[in-house]
Amino acid sequence: MKVCFKSNGIKRIGWVLLWVALSGWDFSEHSIPLNDILSGGPAKDGIPAIDRPRFVPASQASRTFLDDGDRVIALVVNGKKKVYPLKIINWHEIVNDSIGGRRVVVTFCPLCGTGMVFDAHAAGRPLNFGVSGLLYKSNVLLYDRQTESLWSQIKQEAVTGKLIGTRLQLIPSTQTTWGAWKKQHPDTLVLSTQTGYDRDYERDPYQGYLTSREIFFPVGRLDHRYHPKEQVIGVELEGLAKAYPFSELARVKSPFKDKVGKKTVWILYDSKSRTATIKDESGKELPSVVVFWFAWHAFHPDTQVYTAPKN
């Protein structure tokens, strides 16, 4: 069976059922519909994860390959600070790394705008991840090399294979600009362009995608309250999901208090660097995700949505 659709005049074909059955993945158990698993184009490991990341000091990164306006995923664990430039992980989507004595996997889905960092321990063991080449609701499906189970990034869990239903622990991280981050954290380390792969990290392979209303892969019903690629910061607390669109946050003085169910949270937003953070009442940063609106809604169709008060 094939699912066919077009984007920018180019026919994209997603093989399902028969295709995935022949591709070597174990689909005997699955928690998502097999019809919704599509090929993103590249084969397994066709987008190579970075398994031996190298890092350079902030000053060297600024001098050689990072501009202040470049977007980054920034991470602090046990006082150690690292930055993963989107211009690099756009091409790799996964970085297997360790920081502050903790093994982590840094993941990025360019189609959904989702940069999410997880503890690399699950099911009582350390895992190492790769890019499967498959998608679910336009979102990357990771696979672990120990069992070859497939994991949905946004669902944060294994959806096929031996580890089906196992959750990944989301670690707080920040999507921001390099200039904003290095100003506050000049002692940070930065993922180097010396990845072991020959890529033009100055070229954006997804140029124009951010502003386009087109979505390359089917995700179900779209919600048209916002541009499909509107950035939101989403959080899940006690089974409730809530999205904070950046266009709404830009209309409110930061920080401000809000409710997610019965929980009080603080929302912080810097419009210059387009940096959003969610904290609890004690000031502790909560795990959250910056994501395109269409993708958040696809995975959380019953989400609450924050709207700025009308003056």
Residue 22 is predicted with a pLDDT of 46
pLDDT tens digits, 220-238: 889 999 999 999 999 999 8
Structure token pair of residue 224:
């048209």
287 belongs to a structural domain: yes
46 belongs to a structural domain: no
Same domain, 67 and 165: yes
The number of domains in the chain is 3
CA distance 218 to 142: 19
204 belongs to a structural domain: no
Exposed / middle / buried, residue 108 (Cβ in 10 Å: 0-12, 13-18, 19+): buried
Q: How far apart are the first and last CA of the chain?
A: 53
Q: What percent of the chain has pLDDT over 70?
A: 93
The H-assigned helical ranges of the chain are: 18-22, 58-64, 86-89, 178-184, 246-249, 293-299
Query: Phi/psi zone of residue 76: left (φ > 0), alpha (ψ -120 to 50 degrees), beta?
Result: beta
Angle at 159 between CA 158 and CA 163, to 5 degrees: 45
Q: pLDDT below 50 — which residues of the chain?
A: 1-22
241 belongs to a structural domain: yes
Residue 290 is predicted with a pLDDT of 97
Residue 25 is predicted with a pLDDT of 87
Same domain, 264 and 177: no
Same domain, 71 and 185: yes
Same domain, 67 and 27: no
Cβ atoms of residues 129 and 96 within 8 Å: yes
CA distance 241 to 261: 9
- Mind spelling out the 3-state secondary structure of 97-151? EEECCEEEEEEEECCCCEEEEEECEECCEECCEEEEEEEECCEEEEEECCCCCEE
Residue 229 is predicted with a pLDDT of 97
Output the pTM of the full model: 0.90
CA distance 91 to 287: 25
Same domain, 17 and 65: no
- Domain of 279, in residue numbers: 231-305
Same domain, 140 and 266: no
Cβ atoms of residues 111 and 139 within 8 Å: yes
Residue 310 is predicted with a pLDDT of 85
Residue 28 is predicted with a pLDDT of 86
Same domain, 169 and 66: yes
237 belongs to a structural domain: yes
CA distance 34 to 37: 5
Same domain, 185 and 78: yes
Residue 14 is predicted with a pLDDT of 42
Q: Which residue, of 191, 209, 244, is where some domain finishes?
A: 191
202 belongs to a structural domain: no
Neighbours of 74 (CB within 10 A): 24
- Specify which residues 170 forms β-bridges with: 118
310 belongs to a structural domain: no
**Strands ordered across the beta sheet of 114-119:** 94-99, 102-109, 114-119, 170-171
Same domain, 140 and 95: yes
Residue 26 is predicted with a pLDDT of 83
Phi, psi for residue 248 in degrees, rounded to 5? -75, -40
